[in-house]
Structure 1
Amino acid sequence: MRLPEHISHSARETLERCAKQYFLTRVVKAPQRPALWLAGGSAVHEATENYDLLHFADMAEDFQAADVWNAFFDAQLAEAREKEENENLWRKSATEPIEVWRRMGLQFVQAYVDWRERSPWEIWTTPDGFPAIELDVSGKLPGCPVEIKAYLDRVFWDPVLKKLVIVDLKTGKRAPKNADQFGTYRALLKAKYDVDADMGVPFMNRRAALGKPYDLTEYTPELVGDVYGEAWSAIQDYMAAGSFPADTSDCFLCDVKAACHAQNGPLAHLYDPASPGYPIPF
């Protein structure tokens, strides 16, 4: 078994939540049960990205919200159906089935467009001439031996306060619990472009407004690199020990339960070395 060649904020969060889930999703790549909320969220991100690219090119009038949303949502649903034909097995909220997401997702997209039209913030352009829309800032930081993958939803320039602001779109009900995701982005942006983005803020699509802003000045490349370096060392230790322990305190949102021995998953013997039926010693 080979470890991934990189790490990310979501991978580190998964590792901290449940090392077994990290192993199943990132190392052996067990089948992941589709989630309707992920399909809808991805489509919202794609549709708003389409809007901002058109806006950046002074072609915002060509953006047709309903057509763009439906096209991306249908594509996400098709991808989910390729993984699991039976939609009854998808992870989804009982109050937000596909037909609700069809209407709700369009509202999320329009809420972002409306905010953009009234906001004075401008999409930042990188020193190499790229608009900071789904900006790839992946790279290495001091203290972490592997690449940290990261794509920033948006980086804006605030012409009033004369500062860069990192914005991440959130289609879920909960706001970020801390600034760590934004801090990771800030450190990688600094490492790649030598610029300081000292504020991070979520755009809460369900509220049609920005959420709580976070001060990011403490998130230096050195501090963030050390955090990810420790996470990578933990992954290597788990691998050396031959065991990625499972935390079964909160498995509701886990998408690889079918491959987990701790959950008596029917596929555990194929993917989880803790399963007695696993064919190859770990």
Structure 2
Amino acid sequence: MTTPVLQLPRHISHSSRESLERCAKQYFLTRVAKAPQTPALWLAGGSAVHEATEAYDLWTFPPDTGEEFPLLDYWEGCFNGQLAEAYEEEEDSNKWRSSKTEPIEVWRAHGLAFVQSWIDWRERSPWEIWTTPDGMPAIELDVSGKLPGCEVEIKAFLDRVFWDPVLKKLVIVDLKTGKRAPRNADQFGTYAALLTAKYGVQVDLGVAFMNRRGGLGTPYDMTEYTPEFVGGIFGKAWELIQGYARDGSFPADTSDCFLCDVKSSCHAQNGPLAHLYDPASPGYGTRF
């Protein structure tokens, strides 16, 4: 019997901090143990929407050639590419996590409409895609870096940053293809602090674009989300991760496992792969 040697990641992100708060075991299995994750159709579709909208914004970013954006071709290419990646992870699409009301062919149509809703909004909105001081369009912008109070890098990629020429404000926009709007401002606050730390600019607002509704959600004020404030939050999360690692615990929260994509590797869920990935399993480390 051999026990796997596991290394903590040397970075953290908003999504990994959320995972840690939701269930430390899920964080461990996905981020540390690298357990296999069951594909989710809604994630494949959402990623394809992000890819296609990014392509549109880059296509129309100055200097705009005026040529029509080939929406259908881009959408089909993005969606089929995401499906191919999911099939590589699990050949049987019946085992994917998905909604009964939104199978693949429904997503194929809905996803196209979600991209079109973004295009329609972009065409009527006065907001302009912001250009960074180093000349980069703020489209899928990498603002990863360190903040005061957190010793590790915080990873973050911003869907878009816009300049409102009327109110003279910087606005972070995150595309959401799900039905639920963000519960709070934390994601935008993380992004705002990192953007400020990297470029020295003040971010005024953060808001979700709800692709299903074709419009913006509730805007959040970014005033309190300074680099110091956000860095302190992530610093505490990193300390918690290190504490769990020292104890070898990473406790499981089984109150809501419906959307978990690593249940097959979780001892608390009697997962068939738990002996390979979960130290809580009596057979952990066994190879057959």
In the superposition, the TM-score normalised over structure 1's length comes to: 0.98
Change (3 A) 1:75 1:60: farther
1:134 — aligned with what?
140
Cα deviations across residues 96-152 of structure 1 (Å, max 9, x unaligned)?
Answer: 000000000000000000000000000000000000000000000000000000000
1:10 — aligned with what?
15
2:199 — aligned with what?
193
**SS of alignment partner, residue 61 of structure 1:** coil
Change (3 A) 1:7 1:60: farther
The aligned amino acid for 1:255 is: D
What is the distance in 2 between the residues matched to 1:48 and 1:255?
26
Unaligned runs of 5+ in 2: 1-5
1:153 — aligned with what?
159
What is the distance in 2 between the residues matched to 1:175 and 1:61?
34
**Contact between 1:54 and 1:62, CA under 8 Å: does it hold in 2?**
no
1:93 aligned to 2:99?
yes
The size of the alignment, in residue pairs, is: 280
1:213 — aligned with what?
219
Post-superposition shift, 1:158? 0.2
1:29 aligned to 2:34?
yes
Identity of aligned residues (%): 76
**SS of alignment partner, residue 159 of structure 2:** strand
Change (3 A) 1:170 1:66: same
Post-superposition shift, 1:60? 5.5
Q: CA RMSD in A?
A: 0.8
1:41 aligned to 2:46?
yes
1:263 — aligned with what?
269
Post-superposition shift, 1:67? 1.0
List structure 1 runs of 4+ shifted beyond 4 angstroms: none
2:58 — aligned with what?
53
Unaligned runs of 5+ in 1: none
The aligned amino acid for 2:173 is: V
What is the distance in 2 between the residues matched to 1:149 and 1:61?
35
Post-superposition shift, 1:65? 1.1
2:72 — aligned with what?
66
1:229 — aligned with what?
235
Change (3 A) 1:196 1:114: same
Cα deviations across residues 241-266 of structure 1 (Å, max 9, x unaligned)?
Answer: 01110000000000000000000000
Post-superposition shift, 1:215? 0.5
Change (3 A) 1:60 1:185: farther
The aligned amino acid for 1:132 is: A
**Contact between 1:186 and 1:219, CA under 8 Å: does it hold in 2?**
yes
1:82 — aligned with what?
88
